[in-house]
């Protein structure tokens, strides 16, 4: 059902999505949809959670590999994975991490990008000598908001992502984080 939801969201958008359409596309009775999900929002929430888990798994695999040598490489990997999901994961370009539906879809207390920033901070702290601090999460939240807006812009300009805009998005995030943390982020041995 989640795969059917992802395909439908790409075709008709969130507003056009109905549980009836979902049941038809998934080849199940409408009662089967309601057995697992009370409404379309719950289906989209499950799809968003699946996308978040896939994103974090892929990011963790990249960050823990030996090819990344510093925290910026980890941030770059996070941006690259987000762009990759826009290009390859059905429904992601429309839903992102659920903010189209609800800014608090992933967590009732925090907005979706705050959840992503916290998860990203955990991944970076686990691999690189950076402090696990509120300052890092706050800076990552700002970087995510700015990067997310520019990545969306890139995909509005070009269905595959305008490379010039994507390059500028990465540069903006890098410069912001560099300004915030140069000489302050690395833990002393």
48 or 8: which leads in pLDDT = 8
pLDDT of residue 188: 38
Give the residue extent of every domain in the chain: 45-181
Query: Is the dihedral angle over the CA atoms 185, 187, 188, 189 positive or is it negative?
Result: negative
Superfamily of domain covering 45-181: Tetracycline Repressor, domain 2 (1.10.357.10)
Query: What predicted TM-score, i.e. pTM, was given to this entire model?
Result: 0.82
187: left (phi over 0), alpha (psi -120 to 50) or beta: beta
* Residue pLDDT, tens place only, 7-21: 999 999 999 999 999
Greatest Cα pair distance, the chain, in angstroms, is 60
Residue 120's Cβ-count burial label (10 Å; 0-12, 13-18, 19+) is: buried
- Distance between CA atoms of 177 and 137, rounded to whole angstroms? 11
Q: What pLDDT shows up at residue 187? A: 45
**What's the mean pLDDT in 119-145?**
83
Q: What is the dihedral of CA 32, 35, 37, 40, to 10 degrees?
A: 40
- In the numeric block, the tokens 């309601």 are attached to 34
Distance between CA atoms of 186 and 161, rounded to whole angstroms?
33
Average pLDDT (58-75) is 80
Q: Helix, strand, coil: what percent of the chain each, to 5? A: 70, 0, 30
Q: Which is more confidently placed, 166 or 103?
A: 166
| Tokens 């959670």 found at | 49
């Amino acid at each position: 059902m989640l795969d059917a939801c992802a395909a439908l969201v790409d075709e008709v958008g969130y507003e056009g999505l109905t549980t009836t359409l979902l049941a038809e596309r998934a080849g199940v009775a409408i009662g089967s949809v309601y057995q697992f999900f009370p409404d379309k929002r719950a289906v989209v929430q499950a799809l968003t959670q699946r996308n978040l888990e896939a994103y974090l798994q892929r990011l963790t695999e990249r960050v823990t590999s030996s090819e990344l040598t510093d925290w910026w490489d980890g941030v770059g990997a996070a941006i690259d994975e987000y762009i990759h999901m826009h290009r390859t994961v059905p429904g992601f370009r429309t839903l992102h991490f659920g903010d189209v539906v609800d800014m608090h879809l992933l967590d009732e207390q925090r907005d979706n990008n705050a959840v992503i920033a916290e998860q990203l901070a955990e991944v970076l702290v686990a691999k690189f000598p950076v402090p696990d601090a509120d300052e890092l999460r706050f800076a990552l939240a700002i970087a995510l908001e700015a990067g997310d807006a520019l990545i969306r812009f890139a995909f509005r300009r070009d269905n595959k992502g305008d490379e010039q805009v994507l390059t500028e998005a990465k540069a903006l995030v890098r410069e912001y984080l560099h300004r915030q943390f140069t000489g302050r982020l690395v833990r002393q041995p």
